[in-house]
Every structure is written in structure tokens, then in C-alpha cells.
Chain A
Amino acid sequence: MTPHILTRSLDRAATAFVLLVAAVGVLIPLSNLLLPQGSMFQVPTYLVALWGKYVCYAILALSIDLIWGYCGILSLGHGAFFALGGYAMGMYLMRQIGSRGVYGNPILPDFMVFLNWDKLPWYWYGFDKFAFAALMVLVVPGLLAFCFGWLAFRSRVTGVYLSIITQAMTYALLLAFFRNDFGFGGNNGLTDFKDILGFNVQAEGTRAALFLLSCLALIIAFLICRAIVSSKLGKVLIAVRDAESRTRFLGYRVESYKLFVFTLSACMAGVAGALYVPQVGIINPSEFAPANSIEAVIWVAVGGRGTLIGAALGAVVVNYAKTFFTSGPLAPYWLFMLGALFILVTLLLPKGIVGTFNSWWEPRRSTGIAADEASAAREDGISAAKMAE
């Protein structure tokens, strides 16, 4: 069953995308580590970390596209799940500092010593183990999304109302994490990390490995999304997006489908956040800012809502542009650019880059597609027959 889903979900573009990400994930670290410094093809370490950041954003964009592009849920609070995953990883990294902190306390992180706390709060227990922290990266955002979604979808909060309350959720978390007595470092957040799994976070090798892992996570997230959207489940999700009431009247439990995909998407966002933190070296409450979540939505819109490749592409393109503009003399104009991007994309390019490209490209090869679809239909028929046995 599983291999079948994989083969069916991997059309030509998806295969190309996976291969491209894999190639980037292998070649950039190799060039960074093996080639001599100053060589033309050597990628400097700071660029490895920067592109690692983009890859994490691409995973976040995928998770948003899964719920917005395929299920019509516009979450303006997905940055919250990203940040929660990041905080879970940050707590592990804080515990790894041990007695090397400024105050040299073997157990308490510096900011707790600074606040005169004498023992670790209960919710920090266990974060010295990587396995536990890694589990929390999935569990915390997933649980929050599950509770939130269970409440919201069951009482049929939809559309704009859902967007506004997700925004309220991330805003409430922003305010909470800013507080010192909340136990997460307050305003400054968690930073000054030393080790991850015994390797120095700053070292070139670790950075390259983290980059490779991020690319791997992107591929896995992409494959999961592909598998979902090309399965029957995905068809139901699209039906929910296009006509929710009709789907409900046809007998589908719309809220269960939505809840599943929302929770899964939050877990993906959490993983993205967890990979982001060691590469950037800091996590602070500003990651919860509603503006960040809205910006992530525009990555998806630019790349192409409802096309997974587009979401990942959009995240990389917009963030590359952001780095390019904010580091040059054009810095004061970046917000004009970003704002104009929001407006122009929604007005002129509602399908995004990839969607527009597809609709331009598809008529030209329609004959080929018809043949493909016929063969796919035949395969479906065969598998259905097999399952019936």
C-alpha cells in the first residue's frame, strides 16, 4: 500500500523537486567542508546557516500550504507552532550549556539564576534528554493545535473568524512569553547555545550536518504532504475547501478531517522551528508576533497556494529577496516591497508563481497528460480490484 501511494504521489515535477533538494542538501555542505577557503565554489559557513534558515521556512510554508491550499483553513497563527517547536529545542540546548553559563550553575539556565530562582520549574524537567526534547517538538505544537482545532472546528468556526482567533492565539502566546516569570527567558528568549548532541553548535561540521538534516526534513515533509494530497483523504480535504457544507451533507465528518490536517501541519511547523533554532542560535518571543505568521502566509501565496512545490519555492524566493534588500542600501524600501508583494500577488497573481506557470504550461502538453491520466486511472482500477480481494 505505502509504496503504491509513494509512486502515485511522485509525478515528474515532484521527483525533480525531491532530487533538487537532496542535491542541494548534499552539495552545499560538501562544498563548505571539503573545498579550500576562498575557492570559487566554496560556500562560506554563514551562507550555509542562512540557507538552512530558508529551508526551515520552506517546511513552515509547506505546513501552511497543506491546510490553506488544500483545506481552506487560513491560520494566521502558524508562527506560534513554529516558535513552540523552537522553544522546545531551545530548552534542550539551554540545558546542554550546563556549568559553562555566565553564572556557572550546572542545572539552572543563566536567566533563572539572574531572577534568583533556586530550582528548575517542573516544565523544564526532561529537556536535558534529546529524545524527550525531540518528542516535545512534535507533541507541544501538536497538542495545542489539537485542543484549539477540536474546539474551533467542532463549533464550526470558519473562514475569517478562524483566522482572527488564530491570530489572537499567537498574540496571547507572544504576551505570555514576554513575561519573565513565565520561565522561558522573557524578553531575551533562549540563546548563547553551546552544544547539540555533544557537537559544538558553531562548528562548521555541525552547521553542515544541520543543513543536511533540514533538507532531509523538507523532503520528508514534502513526501508526507504529497502522499496526503494525492490520496482519497486529500480529495476530501479539497472538497472541504471548495464546499464545506456540501461535503458535510455527503456524510463526511468535516471537523475530523480538518482537525487531523491542522494537527499534522502544526507538528510540521514545530519541526521546522526546532531545526531553525540551532542554526540561528536564538529563539525569543518575537517569533510569536502575528506579523511573522502573516508573512509566512504570503510566502505560500507568492509561490502558489495549493501547489506544494510553490509553497517551498515561495518561502525561499521571498526570504532571499528579504536578505538581499535588507542588507543593501535599499533597506528602507524593503517594507514597501513586501507590502507591494502582498497586494500585487493577491490582485494579479492569485495562483502564485507555480500555479500561473502550470496553467500556462498545461495546455501545451495536454495530450501527454491525457495519456498519463488514463494510465493512472487504469492503475487505480487495478489497485481497487486488488483491495477488493
Chain B
Amino acid sequence: MVKARGDQEALALLTGLGDQPPLVTKAAASAVSSIQSNLAMWSMVQNAWYGLSLGSVLLLAAIGLAITFGVMGVINMAHGEMVMLGAYTTFVVQEVIRTRYPALFDYSLLIAVPLAFLVAGFIGVLIERTIIRFLYGRPLETLLATWGLSLVLQQAVRTAFGPTNREVGNPSWMSGAFELGQITITYNRLWILCFTLAVFAILLAMLRYTALGLEMRAVTQNRRMAASMGIATSRVDALTFGLGSGIAGIAGVALSQIDNVSPNLGQSYIIDSFMVVVFGGVGNLWGTLVGAFTLGIANKFLEPVAGAVLGKIAILVLIILFIQKRPRGLFALKGRAVEA
């Protein structure tokens, strides 16, 4: 009966039995081993869930980058700051709702998502038109210019909102948790996972079925041919960059639920996002998906063994070594597109 409970408490009860008749001891021993394997299984599931959750966060932060870096070949070091702007948009929306329409608080995130997309997307288009379009074909210079931009945006937000963390609340449908077997699943992590997959699916559908998606793919594959077919390539560039930035803004809304909203929010994601995109393979959204979840799960399985920091270092070293083997990532583009 105790065996059927199969959790930590039962284990403690059984190991603490002390002197008993041999039959009982034997039964207890077998119960202990079965409970232990049960617990080991659940802790695997737990790690896998944490891994999926971390993977979804990484994916969310990296999708926008996969578009600007993967599809356009632009190194946007200010990508993290777009995420930050999305998070601050959420903060502003919640502040307005709190002071004016407190009843709407549960819907604040639904309002924040399109707003964050518009804010970050608009700033993205602005950046593309004023800075990046002069730097196409010079990736290293783009990297430096956007890094400078990220400093400016960070400092601007610091001036406007102060350097400290801002509080963003969870709506009621995102707080709390439920139990599944031996593991606890918090609603906000679950929602973020669903949300990430939804964003990914919408983006994929957009690239495949809409006119803009078609034009984007055409420009990526062969810019001059696309231009001679009558596609306004520079307009497509601006919109693509805006799309990537907008998605980063949406990511900011989701990340505001689980992370501190501070001017440094973006910095902490930028290196990880680049790792995901490079690991997954540039120019391939599916690669980004696989890359994000692989890194997330690998990280969470290494953590109990090596500790949080060493696990992270191990992941970085593994990625560096992996790039030696496959310099173009997991799902590399093949053929002529590689040289472009």
C-alpha cells in the first residue's frame, strides 16, 4: 500500500522502518527500489519539463533573430532591446489599466501583445530605414552599429523608466499551478510554451501562405531576380526587419511574466539567442525550433549533474565545438544560397 503512494514521503517511511521481521524487510526493500526508480523517472520528466520551458523561452527570444539574422543575414545586436521594449510596453499597458480600468486587468496581456508588436515593429522599421539599409553586405559593421544602438536604447529606457526593476503582474489565469503526477506545472510556464508554439506556427504560415511571406522568401533566395520580377526589395527588407523586431516585442510580453523587467533584460538573452540560431542553422526556422529545445533540455539535464553555472559553461563549450564540426549549424542551407 505504501508502495503505491510512490513519493518522497513513502520512501522516507520505508527506509526508516528499522528492525522488522525478515519478510517485511524484504517487501520494504523491493518497495524502496521500485519507488526509487519511480522517483528517478519523475525527476527525468521534471527535467524534461523544465527543459521544454527553458527551450520555449529561448525559442521565443530567438525567433525574431532567426528572421533578421537567418533570413536577412543582418546581425542585430539590438534584438535583445526589442524584447526589452516589448516588456516595457506590457508594463505601461498594465499601469494604464491599473489606474483607469482595473476590471480589465486580466486582459492586459491580450492588449499588450499587439501593442508590443507595433511598438517594436515600428522601431525596427525605423532602424532599418535609418541605419541598417546603408550597411547591407557589411555584416561586421552592422554588428557594431546595432551594438551601439542597443546601448542607446538601454540608456533611453533607463532615463525614462529608471534603472530599477519594474513590476509586471500576472493575470489571474496565468498565476498558480497544478500537479501532474509528481511534478508541479505552473500556469505561466505552460502558457508561455503554448504561446511560443502558436507564434511559431503563425510565423511559419505567414511565410508560406501570404504575399509578404512569398516576397520575403524570393528576396532572400535571389535579390536581383526578385527585383526584376517587380518586387520592391527595399520595402520588403524594411518589413522583414520590422516583422523580426515585432516578434521580439511579443517575446518581451511573455518574458515580462517570468523575468525581471529592467533595462538589462535584453542583454541577458542576446548571447543565448545567437547561440540558438547559430546552432540550429541560419535561414531555417525549423532549425531554430529544434536548436532552442535541444539547448533548453540539454541545459536542464546538465544542471543537476554539474550545477547551474558549470552546466551553462558546458553548453557554451559544446556549441563552440559543435560549430567546428558543422560551421553552418544543424540544418544548414545547401547549394547556391550558402555563398550568398
B is a partner of A: yes
Q: Which residues of A contact B (CB under 8 A)?
A: 74, 148, 151-152, 154-161, 163-165, 167-169, 171-172, 175-176, 178-179, 290, 294, 297-298, 301, 332-333, 335-336, 338-343, 345-347, 350
Q: Does B259 count as interface, using CB distance less than 8 angstroms?
A: no
Within 8 A of A (CB), among B114-156: 131, 134-135, 139-145, 147-152, 154-156
* Contact partners of A179 in chain B: CB under 8 A: 309-310
Q: Cβ of B313 < 8 Å from any Cβ of A?
A: yes
Would B135 and A347 count as touching, CB distance under 8 A? yes
Jot down 10 A-B pairs with beta carbons below 8 A, ordered by A.
A152-B324, A158-B327, A159-B139, A161-B278, A163-B143, A164-B278, A168-B319, A178-B309, A346-B135, A346-B144
Complex: how many Å from CA A333 to CA B152? 9
In the complex with contacts A155-B327, A335-B151, A297-B144 CB distance below 8 A: yes
Q: A157-B324, A336-B152, A336-B155 are in contact. Are A172 and B313 (CB under 8 A)?
A: yes
Question: Which B residues have a C-beta under 8 Å from some C-beta of A?
Answer: 75, 131, 134-135, 139-145, 147-152, 154-156, 159, 271, 274-275, 278, 309-310, 312-313, 316-317, 319-321, 323-325, 327
| In the bound complex, CA of A290 to CA of B316 (Å) | 14
Residue from the list B142, B271, B275, B312 in contact with A290, Cβ < 8 A: B271
Measured between alpha carbons, how far is A171 from B324 in the docked complex, in Å?
Answer: 18
In the complex, what distance in Å separates the CA atom of A158 from the CA atom of B338? 13
When distances are taken between beta carbons in the complex, the residues of chain B under 8 Å from A152 are 323-324
Residue from B140, B142, B148, B274 within 8 A of A341 (CB atoms): B148
Please tell me if the beta carbons of B323 and A160 are within 8 angstroms of each other in the complex: no
Q: Once the chains are docked, how many angstroms separate the CA of A151 from the CA of B152?
A: 36
- Name the A residues within 8 Å of B316 (CB-CB): 168-169, 171-172, 175
Whether A339 touches B134, Cβ cut-off 8 Å, given contacts A164-B274, A172-B317, A178-B309, is no
Decide if B312 touches A168 in the complex (CB within 8 Å).
no
CB distance B145 to A346 under 8 Å?
Answer: yes
Provide the bound-state CA to CA distance between A342 and B149, in Å.
8
Q: Which of B145, B274, B278, B327 contacts A343 (CB 8 A)?
A: B145
Q: Which of B135, B144, B152 sits near A335, CB closer than 8 Å? A: B152
- Minimum Cβ distance to chain B for residue A153 (Å): 10
**Contact residues in A for B152 (Cβ distance below 8 Å):** 335-336, 339-340, 343
The residue from A157, A160, A338, A339 contacting B140, defined by CB atoms under 8 A apart = A160
Contacts of A172 in B (CB 8 A): 312-313, 316-317, 320
Known A164-B275, A165-B319; 14 more pairs at CB < 8 Å = A74-B143, A151-B321, A155-B325, A156-B327, A159-B140, A160-B143, A164-B278, A165-B278, A169-B316, A176-B309, A179-B310, A298-B148, A342-B148, A350-B141
Tell me, in angstroms, the Cα distance from A158 to B141 when the chains sit together: 15
How far, in angstroms, from A179 to B311 measured CA to CA in the complex? 13
* Contact between B271 and A171, CB atoms less than 8 A apart: yes
Q: Is the CB of B324 within 8 A of A335?
A: no
In the assembled complex, the CB of A109 is this many whole angstroms from the nearest CB of chain B, namely: 22
Selected from B75, B149, B312, the residue in CB contact (under 8 A) with A160 is: B75
Contacts of B143 in A (CB 8 A): 74, 160, 163
**A338 and B317 within 8 A (CB):** no
What are the 3 tightest A-B residue pairs by CB atom distance, in nearest-first order?
A342-B148, A339-B151, A339-B152
Kindly list chain A residues whose C-beta atoms are within 8 Å of the C-beta of B150.
Answer: 339
Task: Kindly list chain B residues whose C-beta atoms are within 8 Å of the C-beta of A343.
Answer: 131, 145, 148-149, 152
Is the CB–CB distance between A294 and B147 below 8 Å?
A: yes
B177 to chain A, nearest CB (A): 30
Shortest Cβ gap from A189 to chain B (Å): 16
CB distance from A344 to the nearest CB of B (A): 8
Chain A: minimal CB distance from B311 (Å): 10
